[in-house]
Amino acid sequence: MNVYPAQRCVGDPAHLCKRERIITLIKYLVRRALGWLLMIVVATNITYFLAWGFLDPRSNYVGRRPPLTEEQIVNTLAPRNLSDTVPLIERWWTWLTGILLRWDWGVSPTGGSVNEQVAYRMWVSAELVLGATILTTVLGIALGVYTASRQYKLADRIGQATSIITMNIPIVVAAFAIVLLAIGLNDATGVRIFYVTGNASRGVEGFFPVLIDVLQHLTLPTIALVVIGYAGIHFLQRSLLLDNIGADYVRTARAKGLTKQQAIRKHALRTSLIPVATQVAFTIPAIFTGAVLTETIFAWNGMGKYFIETITKNDIHGTVAVAAFGAVLTAIGAILADVAVVVLDPRVRVS
Amino acid sequence: MTSEMIDPTVEASTAAPGPETTRVATRRLSKWTLYSRRYARNRGAVAGLIIFALLVLFAIIGPLIARYDHVELDFLALSTGPTAEHWFGTNNAGNDLFAQVAVGLQRSLMIAVSVSVGVTIVSALVGTAAAYFGGWTERITLLVIHFMMVIPSFLILAMISNKSGGDWRVIALIMIFVIGWYFPARVIWTLALSLREREYVSAARYMGVRGFRIVLRHLLPNIGSLLVINFTLGVVNAVVAETGLSFLGFGVKIPDVSLGALIGAGSSSLITSPWLFYFPAAALTLLTVSMALVADGLRDALDPTSAAGGRA
């Protein structure tokens, strides 16, 4: 299979070729998505069994005063499909059919619906992860281009030194350092500029007050994620661009009269963006892992916090839902990477 | 790779007399001289190595010279800042932070180094073996690797580690097999793909050398420099992962301490006793940044085509 179906395209008007190309691309993406879907299904089921191996809802009731009888525990857990008196394979089947037939991901040991939790928390995390991903990418690429066109000059040296340090600061340290700085700033100005906990204040209404409130909460965790994330993209973009600046086609562009900046922007950058796009798409799950720590530190009620709560509360259905969410993020990242490569690289023939 | 290299910049004193006044050198540099010279050109890398050596020294000597044991409680000094008695201050239970940071650093280093050694060995063996044997071995290995990429491995790690009861040896083993090996293995597999087509590999095969022996004797030595760099970066990754785990409370458990656990404990009193955060955080950041600088220097020193360090 081929994005340029050569035989039929030759001599055709350009727009026809383009349409065929888009149709083939969509077919290809659908096939890839189906492959990923299969992977997600298998991975989620494996996690279900793993979770039963390492989490025990029964242990939530150990040490209760007054102690619960065996019968009481079973009676509480059995309707929630969490009782180990039922054979594992039967529990699995109930869980799986619940998802397939009713899109019901089960309940926690205390009876709360997993669907509700995920549906709410997903957007809290998305707010953080999306903004951080976009900023990380833009900053990384911009710095990469800037330093690559000034290789071994002062700006490049400073950029390299800063990036190698920020890239290796553990996110926990970075986040708390930012908290300390923000508290210092709040104290110095006497105004509460930044909130260091939570994702929104209660009782704020109106478009602009809400926007300002969101920014006050969002800024610090986003900075924490961006500070540790941008450097990876900076280094990749810089080294790829340096490889391309010396290439023949860039020299040709210069010879035709483009300035160095134009040649870099129009020719070298496009080629070197391809692997960067792939890397960005594949770092989405990594940013999600980073968000687990960031959400804990800044007390955001997102998926990351949910991940910790489900493990500590032996919430098997919740844990599996978080795993499935992570797997979906990986798949979305991989498919976005495919799309980016096809869009950016005119030479790619999908097969 | 040859073990001896000729340095053209050194002028020869033993060169035979000829019509020219200057001569191309013949004095040979051992590869270690060459590597260390190239490494020393990178000032950041030298600084990183020194910082790392000092940290290791601190982790070994610190617990010996500390006035208190890391589990000992001093009820006369609760939540005090750095004093002559307690160099790094104490926490609200009266633990001496100096001893805790030294022991925690030791623990973090032990976990990181053993995880990185394990990951390097496993990933190198799996990656090269998959590339060399090809066929079903390769297909199944790649399938497993792709699977590991889909499964949110940090979640699995947290789940298993939480159950392990906080023993650092168990945590290190889980870290190797759950989150560590698959990504480097894939990189090594890609590199080994081109190695398996080399003449010396074919030559060895036609001489009747067994498959696994070819992997060990012919493929692995040729990715040696990559493995050294992977090892250094692996230490950084392992330290960061362990910090995350212990910070969340899924890693080492009291009375054992690691830097992540210390930061987690210190973060609850960030405003009132910030030294509980400053010292472990500083040790941790110095550790990761110095290792990254070392890796950067090694990459330039070991890569024969790198121009970053200037000429040898």
Kindly indicate the confidence band of residue B290, based on its pLDDT and cuts at 50, 70 and 90.
very high
User: For residue A201, what are its two tokens?
Assistant: 């204040």
Chain A stretch 254-293, residues whose beta carbon is closer than 8 A to a beta carbon of chain B: 285, 288-289, 292-293
Number of domain units in chain B: 1
Task: Give the pTM.
Answer: 0.81
Min Cα separation B288/chain A (Å): 6
pLDDT tens column, B128-148? 898 888 888 888 998 888 888
Residues B42 and B296: beta-carbon distance below 8 Å: yes
Query: Who contacts A36 (Cβ-Cβ below 8 Å, separation ≥6)?
Result: A331, A334, A335, B150
Residues A282 and A334: beta-carbon distance below 8 Å: yes
Between chains, do B271 and A183 touch, taking CB under 8 Å as contact? yes
Identity at A202, one-letter amino acid code: R
Between chains, do A170 and B159 touch, taking CB under 8 Å as contact? no
According to the model, what pLDDT value does residue B63 have?
Answer: 80
* Chain A interface includes B296 (CB < 8 A): yes
Between chains, do A322 and B155 touch, taking CB under 8 Å as contact? yes
Per-residue pLDDT tens, chain A, 351 aa: give them: 444 444 455 544 555 567 777 788 788 888 888 988 988 898 889 888 888 888 888 777 777 777 777 788 888 887 888 877 788 888 888 888 888 888 888 888 887 888 888 888 888 888 888 888 889 999 999 999 999 888 888 988 898 888 988 888 888 889 889 988 988 888 888 888 888 887 777 777 778 888 888 888 888 899 998 988 898 899 889 988 888 888 888 889 889 998 888 888 888 888 888 888 888 877 777 777 778 888 888 888 888 888 888 888 888 888 899 888 888 888 888 888 888 877 777 665 554
User: For residue A126, what are its two tokens?
Assistant: 């998305």
> Quick check: is B6 in a domain?
no
Cα(B278)–Cα(B263) distance, rounded to whole angstroms?
9
Parent domain of B60: 34-70+83-311
* Chain B interface includes A185 (CB < 8 A): no
**B310: nearest CA partner in chain A:** A152
> Quick check: is B147 in a domain?
yes
Query: What is the distance in angstroms between the CA of the first residue and the CA of the last residue of chain B?
Result: 16
CA-based nearest residue to A172, from B168, B240, B27: B240
According to the model, what pLDDT value does residue A10 have?
Answer: 52
> Quick check: is B154 in a domain?
yes
According to the model, what pLDDT value does residue A17 have?
Answer: 67
Min Cα separation A219/chain B (Å): 20
Identity at B310, one-letter amino acid code: G
> Quick check: is B10 in a domain?
no
CA-based nearest residue to B253, from B241, B265, B268: B265
> Quick check: is B301 in a domain?
yes
DSSP of A2-63:
-SS-HHHHTTS-HHHHHHHHHHHHHHHHHHHHHHHHHHHHHHHHHHHHHHHHH--GGGGGTT
Residues A170 and B288: beta-carbon distance below 8 Å: yes
* Chain A interface includes B216 (CB < 8 A): no
Between chains, do A54 and B159 touch, taking CB under 8 Å as contact? yes
Omega within 30 of 0 (cis) for the link into B152: no
Q: Which residues of A touch B240 (CB under 8 A)?
A: 170-171
Residue B60: give its domain's CATH number. 1.10.3720.10
Pairwise pLDDT comparison (B163 vs B231), residue with the higher score = B231
pLDDT tens column, B23-46? 555 667 777 888 888 888 888 889
- Which residue of A47, A297, A311 is in closest CB contact with B162? A311
Picking from A43-52, B93-102, B136-145, B172-181, which range would have the lowest pLDDT averaged per residue?
B93-102
pLDDT tens column, A321-340? 988 888 888 888 888 888 88
Between chains, do B260 and A326 touch, taking CB under 8 Å as contact? no
Cα(B148)–Cα(B179) distance, rounded to whole angstroms?
8
Q: Which residues of A touch B296 (CB under 8 A)?
A: 164
> Quick check: is B297 in a domain?
yes
User: For residue A131, what are its two tokens?
Assistant: 């903004």
Share of chain B above pLDDT 90, in %: 9
Query: Who contacts B293 (Cβ-Cβ below 8 Å, separation ≥6)?
Result: A164, B44, B45, B47, B48, B49, B51
Q: Which residues of A21-60 are buried (b: 16+ CB within 10 A; e: fewer)?
A: beebbeebeeebeeebeebbeebbebbbebbbebbebbeb
Min Cα separation B213/chain A (Å): 35
Residues A149 and A260: beta-carbon distance below 8 Å: yes
> Quick check: is B26 in a domain?
no
pLDDT tens column, B197-250? 888 888 988 998 888 888 888 888 888 888 888 888 888 888 988 888 888 888
Cα(A274)–Cα(B251) distance, rounded to whole angstroms?
38
Min Cα separation A150/chain B (Å): 14
CB pairs under 8 A between A and B: 113
According to the model, what pLDDT value does residue B10 have?
Answer: 45
> Quick check: is B20 in a domain?
no
